[in-house]
Amino acid sequence: MTTFARDERHALSDLLLEVGPDAPTLCEGWRTRDLAAHLVLRERRPDAAAGILLPPLAGRTAEVQGRLAAGPWPALVDTVRSGPPRPLQPLDEAINTVEFFVHHEDVRRAADGWEPRALSPAMEAALWRRLRTMARLLFRRAGVTVELEATGQGRARGGSGPDTVRVTGPASELVLLGFGRGSHARVAMDGTPSAVERLRQAPLGV
């Protein structure tokens, strides 16, 4: 059965092979080999993945990720493409649709001349469902109240503060904003100049 997570995984894998291991990404300090290694570590090295979210363990995570990144490029991309190990396969759609969409765009939008993809209404709806459940987490450091309005989908709220910024755009672009890719997200922000600037500079994401 085709899923959004699988579609994004395969499209990203194709792009990784096309651009090679040393292409830029939107992830600060990472080339494509580092991004691919992150994805493999996240799914297949639970012994080292904790440092992704827990700073005291970040050293171990960086060490293992570096070893993975130094391996043969085609084999690394093949591991990304092959998907999660069997115990995680039932959770692939739930935990990887947003992950692989965002990282696919990390590679696409790091290149000159990028334009947003035309995603299907079903994909936009899937991204919106996940963003609604994560909005408070993603925008918790926004410094302002954030009112999200996804084109054709609905509204959600995150952040906190006396000032409010209303952000509108496709769900896919709002997801990229929420995950800290605001400089490459095609959204409209409505609020006082100072409030909009605080949101633009805020450390958004997990």
**Per-residue three-class SS string for 131-156:** HHHHHHHHCCCCCCEEEEEECCCEEE
DSSP state of 16: H
Residue 2: is its pLDDT beyond 60?
no
Q: Which position has the token pair 């899923």?
A: 3
| Bridge partner residues of 154 (DSSP) | 150
Q: Which position has the token pair 């570096």?
A: 66
Tens digit of each residue's pLDDT (9 = 90 or more) over 161-179: 999 999 999 999 999 999 9
CATH topology of domain 121-201: Nonspecific Lipid-transfer Protein; Chain A (3.30.1050)
Distance from C-alpha of 192 to C-alpha of 177, rounded to nearest angstrom = 18
Distance from C-alpha of 12 to C-alpha of 4, rounded to nearest angstrom = 12
pTM of the model: 0.93
Residue 1: is its pLDDT beyond 80?
no
β strands within 84-143, DSSP E:
none
Domain boundaries, the chain: 4-108, 121-201
For the chain, the average pLDDT equals 94
Do 168 and 149 touch, CB atoms closer than 8 A? yes
Do 45 and 77 touch, CB atoms closer than 8 A? no
Tens digit of each residue's pLDDT (9 = 90 or more) over 7-23: 999 999 999 999 999 99
Tens digit of each residue's pLDDT (9 = 90 or more) over 24-80: 999 999 999 999 999 999 999 888 777 787 788 788 888 999 999 999 999 999 999
User: Computed from CA positions of residues 67, 72, 25, 133, in that sequence, does the dihedral angle turn out positive or negative?
Assistant: negative
